[in-house]
Amino acid sequence: MRSSTVVALAALCVVSGAAMAAAPAFVAQALSDPSRPKADVEADAIRDPADTLAFAGVKPGMTVAELFPGGGYFTRIISDVVGPKGRIFAIENAGWKGAGEADRKMIAELPQKNVELQVNPFGQMTLSRPIDLFWITQNYHDLKIAKYGAVDMAAFNKQVFEALKPGGVYLVLDHQANPGTTLEQIAVLHRIEKAQVIAEVTAAGFKLAGEGKFLNRPADDHTKPIFDKAIQGKTDQYALKFVKPKG
C-alpha cells in the first residue's frame, strides 16, 4: 500500500473517531456493538455512520422505512438505535437477484427483532403505519435507472410524504453528479445531481431542512462511475434532510 493511501486512511479514521465522539450515546453504542460484521466496521471510516445517523436524527423508539438495505450496513445500526420499541420496514427490490435472501439472513442475525422485510417490484412499497423517518442512502439515483424498472418519481416522493408523520424526516444521501447529468448518464455513473433531488422532493411538499457536508469530497470530479477503482468508496456525496411540514 502506498504511503499516501495510508495517510489518507489514517485521516479518515481520525475524522470517524471524532464524529463518533460527538454522536449521541445511543449511536456510539450501536456502532460499538460487537455483533457488527468486521467489513462493516472497516467501512465506517469512509461511510461516516455517526454523522449520518446524527444528521438524520435517528432515535430510540422510531419507526423507520429503509429503501434497499444493500446488505444491511445501516439496517444493523438503525435496528440497534431504535431498539425494541422501534420498528424498521426494510424495502427490497425483487428484481435484484439474491438481495431478498441476503436481507433475510442479515435480519435473522440481528440482536433486535424489530425489522420487517418486504420484497417488492422495483420502486414499490406498502407501509402499514405512519413512519418517523424514510431513509435512502446511495440509492435514490437507482430509481432513475430504466433497466431496474420504471418509477414515477413524483408519485414515489408523494407516497413517502403521505407515509411520514407530520414533522417526519426524509433522508436522501447520494453521489454527486455534474450539472445537467442525463438519465442515460445516471445509469452509467450511478450519480445524481443534488439540485435535481432537491427539486423533485420539494415538489412533493417537503421542506429542505438541512444539508450534511460530512461526505463532501471535492477531489472527486464526478465524471467516473462510482464503481471505478480509482474512486470507489471515496466519491463526493451529499446528505439532504427534508421534513414534512407539521401544518
**Is residue 182 pLDDT above 50, yes or no?**
yes
CA distances to 28, 122, 200 from 52, in Å: 12, 25, 22
Q: What are the strands of the beta sheet with 237-243, ordered from one edge? A: 115-120, 87-93, 63-67, 131-137, 164-175, 237-243, 207-212
Q: How confident is the model at residue 19 (pLDDT cuts 50, 70, 90)?
A: low
pLDDT of residue 62: 98
Q: Enter the pTM of the model.
A: 0.91
pLDDT of residue 20: 53
Q: In whole angstroms, what is the distance from residue 196 CA to residue 193 CA? A: 5
Residue 245, amino acid:
P
Residue spans of the domains in the chain: they are: 3-243
CATH number for the domain whose boundaries are 3-243:
3.40.50.150
pLDDT of residue 17: 47
SS3 86: coil
* Phi (first) and psi of residue 92, to 5 degrees: -115, 155
pLDDT of residue 52: 98
The number of residues in the chain equals 247
Q: What are the start-end ranges of the H helices in the chain? A: 3-22, 25-31, 38-47, 49-56, 73-82, 99-108, 153-163, 183-189, 194-203
pLDDT of residue 90: 98
Report the sign of the C-alpha dihedral through residues 4, 6, 9, 10, in that order: negative
- Over range 221-234, report the average pLDDT: 95
Q: Which of 156, 87, 152, 96 is nearest to 120 (CA)?
A: 96
Q: In whole angstroms, what is the distance from residue 190 CA to residue 106 CA? A: 25
**Is residue 210 pLDDT above 90, yes or no?**
yes
Cell of 92: 427490497
**Is residue 136 pLDDT above 50, yes or no?**
yes
**Is residue 168 pLDDT above 50, yes or no?**
yes
pLDDT of residue 5: 36
- Over range 38-59, report the average pLDDT: 97
Residue 124, amino acid:
Q
Determine what percent of the chain is predicted with pLDDT higher than 90: 89
- Over range 89-114, report the average pLDDT: 96
**Is residue 224 pLDDT above 70, yes or no?**
yes
